[in-house]
Each structure stands twice: as C-alpha cells, then as structure tokens.
C-alpha cells in the first residue's frame, strides 16, 4: 500500500451555503491560511464549488489575486440553451472560467430525482463545454446491506461513462450516501476497495491510460482528523468535502494532509 501518484485533488462542495460576499471573504481567508502555513500549492489541487450566484465574484477574486484554486459548479443542465426555466447551461459556466462541475451528487439524485440516465446526459453536457465532470456515485445504507459496498456505485459509473471518449478528462467521487453529512465516514479499507473497483470500470470503459490518470475521490464526513487515512490508500486520489469545506482552518488542514499523512 502506498499513496497514489496522481496529483491529489481536494474539492470543497459548499452546497447552498455562503452568499457571494461570504464566498469572497472565505476564499481570501483560505488562501491566507494556506500561505501562512507555507503550503506547496502545486502539490495538491484545490477546487471550490460555490453556489451559482457566487461564481462570478469568486472567479474575479481568484483571477485578480492569482489564487491557485480551481473553480467548480455544483450542477449543470443537460441542455445548452432554450426554454428551461431555472436551468444553467454548461456554456455559461465555461464563460465564467469554471473548470469542473459536480454531477450526480446524491442530494440531486435524491431530492431532484436525477436518474442514472440524467446523470449520463449531464456528463455529456459537461464534456461538450470542456468542463471536467466530477461524477458522484455511492450506495445507500440499504444498498450496502443488500448488495455490499461496490455494486451500486459500479453500476452507476458504468451508465455515467456511456459514450464518454477515452481521452476525456473526468473525476470520479465515491460518496457512500450514508456517510454524507452523518459524521460517520466509511473505513479507509472500504473506500480503497470501492475506488479500486471504480478504477476497473474506468479501465473497461475508457482504457488503461484513462484508468491510470483519472482521479478518484472519496467523499463522506471527511475532516482533518481522518483525511490522512484515506490518502494512504493507493486508489484514493483526494476528497470531496462538504461540511468541513465551510470551515477555513479545517479545510486548510485537509488540503495540507501531506503534513500528517504519515507515509
Ligand atoms: C458531500 O456532500 O459531498 C459531502 C461529502 O458532505 P460531507 O463532507 O459533509 O459528508
């Protein structure tokens, strides 16, 4: 066992938290906290996923202050334009210098009835606009009991990758639904086992090169105290962080996991 050789990605999903003024203050504080700690920015990619209404303000800040954070969106429409009230096109996100977009988060699957087919259409929409889809998959507590940990996420990823070209830049996030926001993270062993199986799916669908370069994240109650145990796993290349991404010092400590990974 050893840490992955891919550049780690620590992604902060803010969900419906922080308005645009709070978002700007947060990003500035996070940047200062990491600079004060002499963090090596090139060693770990950091991406924040604010609400849509914050994107322009955060993009302007990171551009003006040359803050080395990626900017992501939390969702996008399957359509590119037209009569789809309330929807946001990937084309608009791209114009805002958004680089990636979360797709298929369990809260979208659950509260907005997003099926695997909708998720697959959103992956295609992201790729049409050169946005990196961060494809979320994961099992519920019931799935875990009935089918084990990997069957559902593997099936979800197989559908999401239908028609995706081998050269596509994608990120996969394994997020057990029961671990999200519950304070009860998966064990690092379970995260490793499922992430390894998801890498097999990437290999079967997109080929060996894609499997070797694609980053697979773990998400679900990640915090500073447990990030190291996940990052020690060879198939875990980073984390998708919800609650803890809203606390500057906690998120900075997660980004700085290399200081406490202990390998
Ligand atoms: C998430 O919502 O993607 C998530 C992982 O949340 P939390 O870190 O709060 O469990």
Instruction: Judge whether residue 217 has pLDDT over 80.
Output: yes
* Ligand 1 centroid distance, CA of 165 (Å): 29
Tell whether pTM > 0.85. Answer: yes
Per residue in 97-156, pLDDT tens? 999 999 999 999 999 999 999 999 999 999 999 999 999 999 999 999 999 999 999 999
Active-site residue (options: 105, 139, 193, 250): 105
To the query of whether residue 175 is one of the catalytic residues in this protein, the response is yes
> Residue 261 — very low, low, confident or very high, per pLDDT cuts 50/70/90?
low
Mean pLDDT of the chain: 96
Which ligand 1 atom sits closest to the C-alpha of 180? 10
Mean pLDDT of 194-211: 98
* Ligand 1 centroid distance, CA of 65 (Å): 28
Instruction: Judge whether residue 2 has pLDDT over 60.
Output: no
Residue owning the nearest CA to atom 6 of ligand 1: 242
To the query of whether residue 79 is one of the catalytic residues in this protein, the response is no
Instruction: Locate 142 and state its tokens.
Output: 């019931």
> Residue 4 — very low, low, confident or very high, per pLDDT cuts 50/70/90?
confident
* Ligand 1 centroid distance, CA of 28 (Å): 22
Query: In this prediction, what percent of the chain has a pLDDT beyond 90?
Result: 96
Mean pLDDT of 52-63: 98
Domains assigned to the chain: 9-259 (3.20.20.70)
Residue owning the nearest CA to atom 7 of ligand 1: 242
């Amino acid at each position: 066992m050893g840490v992955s050789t891919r550049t780690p990605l620590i992604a902060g999903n803010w969900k419906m938290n922080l308005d645009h003024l709070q978002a700007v203050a947060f990003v500035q504080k996070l940047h200062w906290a990491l600079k004060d700690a002499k963090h090596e920015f090139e060693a770990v990619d950091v991406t924040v996923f604010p609400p849509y209404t914050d994107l322009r303000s955060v993009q302007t800040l990171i551009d003006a202050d040359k803050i080395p954070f990626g900017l992501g969106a939390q969702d996008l429409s399957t359509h590119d334009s037209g009569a789809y009230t309330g929807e946001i096109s990937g084309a608009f996100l791209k114009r805002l210098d958004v680089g990636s977009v979360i797709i298929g988060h369990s809260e979208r699957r659950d509260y907005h009835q997003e099926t695997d087919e909708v998720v697959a259409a959103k992956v295609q929409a992201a790729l049409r606009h050169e946005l990196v889809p961060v494809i979320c998959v994961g099992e519920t507590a019931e799935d875990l009991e009935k089918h084990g940990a990997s069957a559902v996420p593997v099936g979800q990823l197989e559908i999401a990758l239908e028609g995706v070209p081998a050269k596509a830049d994608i990120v996969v996030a394994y997020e057990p639904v029961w671990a999200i926001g519950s304070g009860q993270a998966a064990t690092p062993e379970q995260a490793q086992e499922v992430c390894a199986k998801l890498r097999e799916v990437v290999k079967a669908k997109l080929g060996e090169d894609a499997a070797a370069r694609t980053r697979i994240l773990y998400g679900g109650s990640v915090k500073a105290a447990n990030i190291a145990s996940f990052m020690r796993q060879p198939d875990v290349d980073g984390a998708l962080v919800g609650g803890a991404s809203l606390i500057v010092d906690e998120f900075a400590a997660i980004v700085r996991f290399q200081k406490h990974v202990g390998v």
